[in-house]
């Protein structure tokens, strides 16, 4: 029996009792709506081939290769593999792979003119301990902004790049580095729900357009401090066979990055944009 259960107070919804390989259009419509309402959709207990995962991902939009070429699946560029190749040839831990997504709260693809609508992960191997993914609601962040800040940022754009102010671009090939910043409204109206959220990523934002450097830095600091609201959080503890998709237009996430490195934590990952 299909069960849909809210997982956190404002974000996160868990669906069990479905087989994604045979889910019909009506079944998909109901879980898609649950995803729009709760921004992070967890479907448990799946047993998918890589092709089935790709096909299910395509029900959400167009699946595109991620700019990190070295972590793409060799035969299927639309699939990124997380957690493999974690050790360098000399046996040391490759931090860029081990800590991918763990450097801080972020939203995927803010460096692109059209950021990824969604990111989806399918869990293939999960460590005994640690390795959770944390999520937070951008709607809750918007609601927490003081009126003064909402007014100051109304219609204002932020400039975003892959490496942001720290310029960390380790997972990019040299030819893909240092692209022109992408500009996005900091207060974003969601194209499907019509709701307003704080579109923000402290690791990717360079500046607030039109603000002097000191004010821009102060605004970035203020937004960083308020973006994570406790009632807007959901922490996902993974099991093999979980499929989790999040909405990058209205949520933030980060990997806990705290699991024993000698254990496997492996996911297939798809990056999804809205259909043109």
Ligand X SMILES: O=C(O)CCC(=O)C(=O)O
Interacting residues with Fe ion (CB under 5 A): 101, 108
Footprint on residues 218-237 left by ligand X (CB under 6 A) = none
101 touching ligand X, by CB under 6 A = yes
Binding mask 240-269 for ligand X (x = CB under 6 A): -------------x-x-------------x
Q: What is the smallest separation between the CB atom of 252 and ligand X, expressed in angstroms?
A: 10
- Which tokens hold the place of 208? 């607030």
> Of these partners, Fe ion, ligand X, none, which one is at the site of residue 43 (CB under 5 to 8 Å by kind)?
none
Contact 139, 10 (CB under 8 A): yes
Strands (E), the chain: 3-6, 13-16, 40-43, 62-64, 80-82, 118-125, 133-137, 157-160, 182-185, 187-189, 196-198, 205-208, 233-236, 243-247, 251-255, 266-273
How many residues touch ligand X under the rule CB under 6 A: the total is 9
86 touching ligand X, by CB under 6 A = no
Q: Which residues pair with 87 in a beta bridge?
A: 93
Q: Is 180 exposed, middle or buried (0-12, 13-18, 19+ CB in 10 A)?
A: exposed
C-alpha–C-alpha distance, residues 186 and 242, integer Å:
32
C-alpha–C-alpha distance, residues 4 and 27, integer Å:
11
119 touching ligand X, by CB under 6 A = yes
Residue 269 vs 273, nearer CB to ligand X: 269
C-alpha–C-alpha distance, residues 124 and 224, integer Å:
33
Which single residue brings its beta carbon nearest to ligand X?
Answer: 101
Binding mask 40-79 for ligand X (x = CB under 6 A): ----------------------------------------
Selected binder of ligand X within 41, 54, 82, 205 (CB under 6 A): 82
For ligand X, the binding residues (CB under 6 A) are 82, 100-101, 108, 119, 133, 253, 255, 269
């Amino acid at each position: 029996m299909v069960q849909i259960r809210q997982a956190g107070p404002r974000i996160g919804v868990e669906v069990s009792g479905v087989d994604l390989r045979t889910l019909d259009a009506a079944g998909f419509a109901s879980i898609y709506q649950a995803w729009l309402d709760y921004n992070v959709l967890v479907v448990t207990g799946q047993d998918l081939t890589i092709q089935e995962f790709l096909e299910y991902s395509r029900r959400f939009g167009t699946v595109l290769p991620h700019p990190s070429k070295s972590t793409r699946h060799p035969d299927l560029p639309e699939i990124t593999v997380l957690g493999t190749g974690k050790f360098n040839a000399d046996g040391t831990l490759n931090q860029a792979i081990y800590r991918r997504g763990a450097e801080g709260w972020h939203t995927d693809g803010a460096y692109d003119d059209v950021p990824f609508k969604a990111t989806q992960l399918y869990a293939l191997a999960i460590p005994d301990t640690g390795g959770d993914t944390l999520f937070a609601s951008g709607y809750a962040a918007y609601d927490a902004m003081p009126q003064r800040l909402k007014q100051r940022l109304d219609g204002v754009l932020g400039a975003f790049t892959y490496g942001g102010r720290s310029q960390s671009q380790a997972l990019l090939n040299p030819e893909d580095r240092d692209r022109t910043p992408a500009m996005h409204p900091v207060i974003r109206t969601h194209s499907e729900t019509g709701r307003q959220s704080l579109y923000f990523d402290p690791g990717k934002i360079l500046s607030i357009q039109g603000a002097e450097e000191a004010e821009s830095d102060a605004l970035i600091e203020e937004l960083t401090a308020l973006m994570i609201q406790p009632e807007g959080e959901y922490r996902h503890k993974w099991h093999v066979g979980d499929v989790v998709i999040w909405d990058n237009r209205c949520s933030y996430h980060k990997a806990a990055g705290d699991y024993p490195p000698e254990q496997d934590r492996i996911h297939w990952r798809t990056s999804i944009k809205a259909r043109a």
